[in-house]
Amino acid sequence: MAQPVKITSKIKLRDFDPGYRAGLDKEKTREATTRLCIRIGELQQLLYANRNNSLILLFQGMDTSGKDGAGKRVLEFVTPAGVETANFKTPSAGELAHDFLWRIHKATPRYGNIGVFNRSHYEDVLVVRVLKLQPKEVWSARYGQINAFEKILADNRTILLKFFLHISKDEQAKRLQARLDDPAKNWKFEMSDLNMRAYWRDFEKAYEDAINCCSTTCAPWYIVPADHKWYRDYVVARIVVSALEDLKMKWPRPKIDLSKIKIK
């Protein structure tokens, strides 16, 4: 099962099985996931009506781990007007003219909304580190800056759920091959996906350090087994429901006495 990484312990990704599925039945679990997603839709309405908090679903993982797919599934029954999405790819010239967190903070959702981050500020301690785009003294200082930034979000009523979608190298190979074999998926294939496979172990180490350095009480990381898409979505949906229910939201009271209003 996915679990928040405790800040008192260090993890190794090899200790987490990407193919883990808790012995669950695939079809029954899909049905349970649908019920959870319907509940997320109901809770999102409460979040939007109260506008006291916002929620960010942050997805990181190797290519093909399901960052788009997981977000699409768990928000299947959510009103689109209450969702803000951001895809953090190679920074633009304008973004590079600011500190690395500028583009992230600018994309955080307003109160009442759910934000979906496909990749995030963690790219600056992942791909930047692995491809040596910045010297170590630059990217290593960013762990503390990330923790401070995420505490600001938490202190200002933004809930940050950070999901590392843990996929195996073998499963990634199958999904990349599917992109080559299926004409409807050809557009997803990029040569850079193959290039990044050569850095697999380097990325694993970078992820381990990011999780170990930046899993905090206010913003823990969740390691989600991602070889089975149906189980991945179930785990993410459960965590989202739990986080929203913890807010104990109720419908806001009307600002006027509705009993005196007559519609003619």
pLDDT at position 38 over 80:
yes
Domain boundaries, the chain: 13-250
Give, rounded to a whole angstrom, the gap between the first and last alpha carbons of the chain.
56
Q: pLDDT (tens digit, 9 = 90+) per residue, 200-251?
A: 999 999 999 999 999 999 999 999 999 999 999 999 999 999 999 999 999 9
For 20, 80, 190, 200, the CA distances from 172, given in Å and listed in that order, are: 15, 30, 13, 11
Give the model's pLDDT for residue 57.
98
- Residues paired with residue 222 on neighbouring β-strands, in sequence order: 4, 163
Confidence of residue 187 (pLDDT cuts 50, 70, 90): confident
Give the model's pLDDT for residue 190.
83
**What does the alpha-carbon distance between residue 57 and residue 70 come to, in Å, rounded to a whole number?**
10
The answer to whether the Cα torsion of 216, 59, 90, 194 is positive or negative is positive
Confidence of residue 194 (pLDDT cuts 50, 70, 90): confident
> Span 71-81, mean pLDDT?
96
pLDDT at position 44 over 70:
yes
In this structure, what DSSP letter does residue 61 have?
Answer: E
Give the model's pLDDT for residue 171.
97
Q: What is the pTM of this model?
A: 0.95
Average pLDDT of every residue of the chain: 94
Give the model's pLDDT for residue 97.
97
How do strand 54-61 and strand 114-118 relate by DSSP bridges?
parallel
- Domain spanning 13-250 has what CATH number? 3.40.50.300
Q: Which long-range CB contacts under 8 A does 5-11 form with residues at least 24 apart?
A: 5/211, 5/212, 5/215, 5/220, 5/221, 5/222, 5/223, 6/215, 6/220, 7/215, 7/216, 7/217, 7/220, 10/212, 11/208, 11/211, 11/212, 11/223
